[in-house]
């Protein structure tokens, strides 16, 4: 099993009045059985809620996204409590062929109601996927 992980860099100062972008707290890509890869990402935005993640798996197929936005008065209050908190995302993908792949991950925050959507700087994780095991001849 190959596990690659990244740690967050120190937060840079954001000028007063400017909306901060989401930042990675941690990220890892784990190769599992049958050319399957699991990516686990944890992110935080100091002044908003991290709501989603975009993943480009490093092959010709389209990427994958995961996000959620709810609109109600009770959600707005819950969002105020969740601002600055860590959010965790787990995504999986199965590669068609063995090889080396560069997975690019971007966090998304805001984007609901009147909050502008912010995107993190992309993070790249590298994985090596082995040929799937074959059954022995009978």
Domain boundaries, the chain: 3-10+18-129
Residue 63 has pLDDT above 70, yes or no: yes
Taking CA atoms, 40 is separated from 26, 48, 68, 105, 122, in Å, by: 8, 20, 17, 10, 15
pLDDT digits (tens, 9 = 90+) for 70-129: 665 665 666 666 777 899 999 999 999 999 999 999 999 987 777 788 999 999 999 999
pLDDT of residue 15: 54
- Lookup: tokens for 9: 């860099």
pLDDT digits (tens, 9 = 90+) for 20-45: 899 999 999 999 988 999 999 999 99
pLDDT of residue 79: 62
Instruction: State pTM to two decimals.
Output: 0.76
- Assigned CATH for 3-10+18-129: 2.60.40
pLDDT band at 1 (very low <50, low <70, confident <90, very high): very low
In 17-56, beta strands by DSSP E: 23-31, 36-44, 50-56
């Amino acid at each position: 099993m190959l596990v690659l992980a990244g740690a967050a860099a120190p937060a840079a100062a954001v000028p007063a009045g400017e909306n901060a972008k989401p930042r990675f707290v941690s990220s890892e890509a784990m190769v599992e059985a049958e050319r399957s890869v699991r990516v686990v990402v944890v992110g935080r935005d100091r002044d908003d809620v991290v709501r989603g993640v975009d993943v480009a798996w490093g092959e010709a197929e389209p990427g994958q996204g995961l996000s959620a936005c709810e609109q109600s008065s009770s959600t707005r209050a819950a969002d105020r409590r969740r601002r600055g908190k860590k959010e965790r995302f787990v995504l999986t993908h199965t590669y068609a062929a063995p090889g080396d792949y560069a997975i690019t991950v971007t966090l998304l925050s805001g984007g609901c109601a009147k909050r502008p959507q912010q995107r993190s700087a992309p993070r790249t994780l590298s994985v090596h996927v082995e040929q799937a095991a074959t059954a022995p001849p009978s």
